[in-house]
Amino acid sequence: CIFCRIATGEIPAQIVARSDHAVAFRDLSPQAPTHVLVIPTSHLASAAEATGEAGAALLGEVMALGVRVAAELGLAEAGYRFVMNTGREGGQTVHHLHLHVLGGRQMRWPPG
């Protein structure tokens, strides 16, 4: 899994922050002036697998690191968007749970 290998440092990435069980790095193909991905360091295919207490704790840590990164990158005042594509119709292409943190421009709604 490509994101597992980013988490271990086997594949280079522009890491912006880490917590105990999560890591944040720049998206290779940014869709906004700031586009960071936050992943759990252990493999979970998607949010649909983040069940029970362990899943809740992991999602909490990923979201919390997203909030911290958004603040550290100066997005908090103007605002930003969290996206977690899940499964085929959710548009997920990399099957390791990840949170997109997007900011630096006006977001639109509804998403495509």
| Active site (catalytic) residues | 98
Q: How far is the CB of 27 from ligand AMP (least distance, A)?
A: 5
Ramachandran sector of residue 104 (left: φ over 0; alpha: ψ -120 to 50; beta: rest): left
Does 34 bind ligand AMP (CB under 6 A)? Our answer is no
Does 46 bind ligand AMP (CB under 6 A)? Our answer is no
> Which of 7, 13, 32, 59 is in the footprint of ligand AMP by CB under 6 A?
13
**CA-to-CA distance for 84 and 82, rounded, in angstroms?**
7
> Which of 10, 93, 108, 112 is in the footprint of ligand AMP by CB under 6 A?
93
Q: How far is the CB of 103 from ligand AMP (least distance, A)?
A: 14
Does 107 bind ligand AMP (CB under 6 A)? Our answer is no
> Which of 28, 106, 108, 109 is in the footprint of ligand AMP by CB under 6 A?
28
> Which of 17, 63, 67, 94 is in the footprint of ligand AMP by CB under 6 A?
94
Residue pair 39/62 in contact by the 8 Å Cβ criterion: yes
